Structure 1
Amino acid sequence: MKWKEGVYNMFATFKMDLPESAGEIREQYYKKGLKVYSAHKQKVKESLDRYLSVDGELKASEIEKDWFPSFKADVFLSHSHKDEKDVIAFAGLLNDIGLTAFIDSCVWGYADDLLKQIDNKYCVSKTKPDGSVDTYDYQRRNQSTAHVHMMLNGALLKMMDSTECLIVLDTPNALKAKDISNGTTNSGWIYSELLMSKFLRKTYPIRKSMNFALSESVRHDGLSVEYDADIKHLMIISMKDIINATEDGKYSGLGVLDQLYFTKGLCEGK
Structure 2
Amino acid sequence: MYRGFNLKITEDLEQRYLISGYTVFKYLKDKAIESLDNFFLKNGSLDGNKIMESWFPNVPSHIFLSHSHKDIEKAILIAGMLYENFKIITFIDSIVWSYCNDLLKQIDDNYSLNDDKLHYSYERRNYTTAHVHLMLSTALNKMIDSSESVFFLNSPNSISTETEISQKTNSPWIFSEISTTQIIRKQTPERLKPQTKLFKALDLNESQRSSLTIEYDLELSHLRDINSNEFNIWIQNQTENAEEALDLLYNQFPLKPKFLI
TM-score, length-scaled by structure 2: 0.85
Following the alignment from structure 2 to structure 1, what is the Cα–Cα distance between the partners of residues 203 and 151? Answer: 18
1:48, CA displacement in angstroms? 2.0
> Does structure 1 residue 263 correspond to structure 2 residue 259?
no
SS of the equivalent of 1:135 reads coil
Alignment of 1:182-197 (within 5 A): 182-197=166-181
> Does structure 1 residue 225 correspond to structure 2 residue 214?
yes
1:134, CA displacement in angstroms? 1.7
Name whichever structure is richer in strand by fraction.
Answer: 1
Following the alignment from structure 2 to structure 1, what is the Cα–Cα distance between the partners of residues 221 and 64? Answer: 18
Following the alignment from structure 2 to structure 1, what is the Cα–Cα distance between the partners of residues 174 and 141? Answer: 12
Following the alignment from structure 2 to structure 1, what is the Cα–Cα distance between the partners of residues 50 and 222? Answer: 33
1:224, CA displacement in angstroms? 2.8
1:242, CA displacement in angstroms? 4.2
Question: Size of the alignment, in residue pairs?
Answer: 250
- In 1, are the aligned partners of 2:172 and 2:216 still within 8 Å (CA)? yes
- In 2, are the aligned partners of 1:205 and 1:212 still within 8 Å (CA)? no
Q: State percent identity of aligned pairs.
A: 35
**Aligned match for 2:184, one of 200, 204, 210:** 200
Following the alignment from structure 2 to structure 1, what is the Cα–Cα distance between the partners of residues 74 and 194? Answer: 31
Alignment of 1:37-186 (within 5 A): 37-44=25-32, 46-50=33-37, 52-53=39-40, 55-96=43-84, 97-127=86-116, 133-180=117-164, 182-186=166-170
Listed as ranges, the gaps of 5+ residues in structure 1 are: 1-9, 128-132
Moved more, 50-59 or 249-258: 50-59
Matched residue type, 2:156? P
1:204, CA displacement in angstroms? 1.7
1:5 maps to: none
> Does structure 1 residue 15 correspond to structure 2 residue 6?
yes
Following the alignment from structure 1 to structure 2, what is the Cα–Cα distance between the partners of residues 77 and 203? Answer: 18
Q: Please list the CA deviations of residues 64-123 of structure 1 after superposition, one character each: whole Å capped at 9, or x if unmatched.
A: 222343432110000111111111111111111121111111244211111111111111
Q: CA RMSD in A?
A: 2.6
SS of the equivalent of 2:61 reads coil
1:146, CA displacement in angstroms? 0.3
Following the alignment from structure 1 to structure 2, what is the Cα–Cα distance between the partners of residues 115 and 201? Answer: 30
SS of the equivalent of 1:173 reads coil
SS of the equivalent of 2:11 reads coil
- In 1, are the aligned partners of 2:3 and 2:149 still within 8 Å (CA)? yes
1:53, CA displacement in angstroms? 1.2
Name the CA shift for 1:257/1:125 in 2 (closer, same or farther; >3 Å): same
1:151, CA displacement in angstroms? 1.1
Moved more, 245-254 or 221-230: 245-254
2:24 maps to: 36
Deviation beyond 4 Å, 4+ runs, structure 1 = 214-219
- In 2, are the aligned partners of 1:68 and 1:159 still within 8 Å (CA)? no
